[in-house]
Chain A
Amino acid sequence: MEQPSPGFALRCANVSKTFAVQREQRVWRILLGMDRDGGGPVVEALRDISLTVPRGKIVGVLGRNGAGKSTLLRLLGQVYTPTTGRIEINGQVAGLFELGGMGNPNLTGREYATRYLQFMGVAGDSVADILEDIADFSELGDAFDQRIRTYSSGMASRLYFAVATAYQHEIYLIDELLSVGDEHFQAKCWRRMRERLLGGASGVLVTHDWTAIVKLCEQACVIDEGRFSFVGSSDSAVVRYLDLRVPPAEAARFPDTIPTEFVLRSGEDSVIRLPVEVLDDVAVDLAISVEMLRIGVGWEIVILSEYYPVADTAGNYTVEFRIPALPLAPGKYSLNLFLAQRPLPGMRPKAGLDCRSWTYGNGLTLRVEGKPFPAAVTLPFTVRPIPAEAV
């Protein structure tokens, strides 16, 4: 069935999954389909899950243990069939589940890798190169040709990770993946995931580690007791997941009329005007930061200002930020604003009054337009050749 390539890599609609309790005793009923309704106790692992993974994106699923994360991943990997709902997949799937081997610990590392490549249909001349790369990346050395049962758990997971990411798959299903090995190896894992994503892979990452979500995903969902309790940007999802408290915004605040998106042009003198409402007679300072999400690395601060005084008495104010020759490359940034009470001498810390920030899930968007260039920033420099005799 050839069909035009759609814009999504993976999509599921209204998917639910129930498991029969004590299913070993009810195998025949399950097989014959007599287990539908009233057949006995069932556990509803997932309910009404809808999710779309666009091509080239990783969508995060955040959840605590037992929330249904792994079940969801197995459904997407077609290991389970959904009880109701539809799953569509457009691409070759590589599942990185609990990073178990293929059940046979008597295989050597090399045999395991070879078997995996066979399963994925890698053949011909490239196999030797890929095996070489796996041996190299997993840092197993001579152990690569010894049996997996002789490995420590760290060695085994290094092997499994190296094998699963040895070449570019189209869709990755990742389960708590990046907690492999020591810091040195983790850094390598992240670098590799980043390469794969920049290579156009799509996928789903389920984890309870919100930092991984922030690093890899733009979109994320929070799953709670088998249901999505939140679907949206990954920063908002993290806030929902961590249940962070947003400052009360009582003494001073950004009015609701504040635009959610600012559009500036790269390289031009730029102005951002921000309305601020001060309700009490307190001294209020404002700081601003511009951050960008680099996939596989995380949020990086591009511009971070100090706190500047805004007001000492109640009233409506407008604060103007001027950036001459805006040095940002075209793209999407998070614009974060922090209002704080100015500390009196001897008083600390700075009490937050209101904020707009991705860390609280309400960051503003800064869209920079202009001619794209490969660096993150550009500086207003000029180049001029000087004849030798003039120096």
Chain B
Amino acid sequence: MFGFTRYDFRLLINLFKMNLRDRYLGSSLGSFWAVSNPLFMLALYTYIFGFVFKVRLPGSETTLAYVIWLITGYGPWIATTEALMGAASSVVGAAGLVKNLAFKTELLPIAGALVGAVNLAVSLFFLFVLFVWAGTPVTAHVVLLPLVMLLQFFWIIALGMWLSAIAVFVRDVLQILPTLLTAIMFMTPIFYPFDSMPAIIQRVSLANPFYQIADAYRSILIAHEFPSAVGLGFVGVLSWVIFHFGLAAFRRAKGSFDSAI
């Protein structure tokens, strides 16, 4: 598939494990940060929006309802940020490997993105704790959750394929990306409901894959309904197209990596 063989798949797993070790086991409190970083961010935004701004969901008066709603969107978003940064910096960060070992470097952004899965797991675990506490039911719709996660990471990998190759030549990408991601976060209905946006922005947001992914999580976990098939289909097709061309671009450019890295 996409010119990858089972040997590449084995290598992808090795790279993923290496990334995990580097990211979380390198420092003495490594696994502590893996859990506490997303929790800290979740707590911070919960405090700001739930208790300072006192945002309430329409039709609900409790802060807890808003917090759960917030985390269903923001938890996966933290994972997206982490994964996209991991993918974008994957080639630059693995200069030694790229220069000296024989392997398909296009595996690097994929392995880099998958590290975000740790964050996603932490957020979702925290979320389910809240569900139990608040007595929110979890319905059979969760069987679709893996599909949403798959699409989320496919979308991130598609973008990461481009970003990681560009970052080799234009390092500034890695500086701009966090700012850009913050901007995207506030443009995407993650902290506020979709309906509170101006109508014209709403229409534009439908084409925003980040929104479609956040909305899919909320449909499944909050509204207990099936996510929009059109929306997810759109994310899937768009990701496929971007990934397809990104992979081709990466493969064209990788011959120049060792001189630029």
Contact = CB atoms under 8 A, between A and B. Distances in A.
Interface in B14-47: 14-15, 17-18, 21
B56 interface: no
Interface stretch (B80-88, B102-110, B189-197): B102-110
B164 to A, nearest CB: 11
Interface in B202-261: 248-249, 251-256, 258-260
Given A24-B169, A100-B99, A102-B101, A91 B18 contact: no
B249 A31 contact: yes
A1 B255 contact: no
B259 A23 contact: yes
B99 A30 contact: no
Contacts of A74: 102
B201 to A, nearest CB: 30
Contacts of A81: 251-252, 254-255
B169 A27 contact: yes
A32 B249 CA distance: 6
B97 A94 contact: no
B253 A27 contact: yes
Contacts of B15: 119
A17 B248 CA distance: 16
A101 B96 contact: yes
B102 A94 contact: yes
B18 A80 contact: no
B13 interface: yes
B21 A91 contact: no
A98 B102 CA distance: 12
A27 B256 contact: yes
B186 interface: no
Nearest to B248: A33
A81 B249 CA distance: 11
A95 interface: yes
Interface residues of A, number: 39
A103 B96 CA distance: 4
Contacts of A76: 102
B102 A121 contact: no
A104 B96 contact: yes
B157 to A, nearest CB: 17
Nearest to A95: B102
Contacts of A335: none
B6 A97 contact: no
Nearest to A35: B252
Identify which of B1, B18, B101, B249 gathers the most chain A CB atoms within 10 Å of its CB: B101
B165 interface: yes
Interface of B: 1, 5-7, 10-11, 13-15, 17-18, 21, 95-105, 162, 165-166, 169-170, 248-249, 251-256, 258-260
Query: 10 closest pairs, A vs B, by CB?
Result: A103-B96, A77-B102, A95-B102, A102-B96, A121-B14, A81-B251, A80-B255, A27-B169, A31-B249, A100-B100
Given A30-B252, A97-B102, A103-B100, 20 more contacts: A19-B256, A27-B253, A30-B253, A30-B256, A31-B249, A32-B249, A78-B102, A79-B105, A89-B5, A89-B7, A94-B102, A95-B100, A95-B101, A100-B100, A103-B99, A115-B18, A118-B18, A119-B97, A121-B10, A121-B13
Interface of A: 1-2, 17, 19-20, 23-24, 27, 30-33, 35, 74, 76-81, 89, 91-95, 97-98, 100-104, 115, 118-121, 173
12 contacts: A19-B255, A76-B102, A78-B104, A92-B10, A93-B103, A95-B101, A97-B100, A97-B101, A101-B100, A103-B99, A121-B11, A173-B102
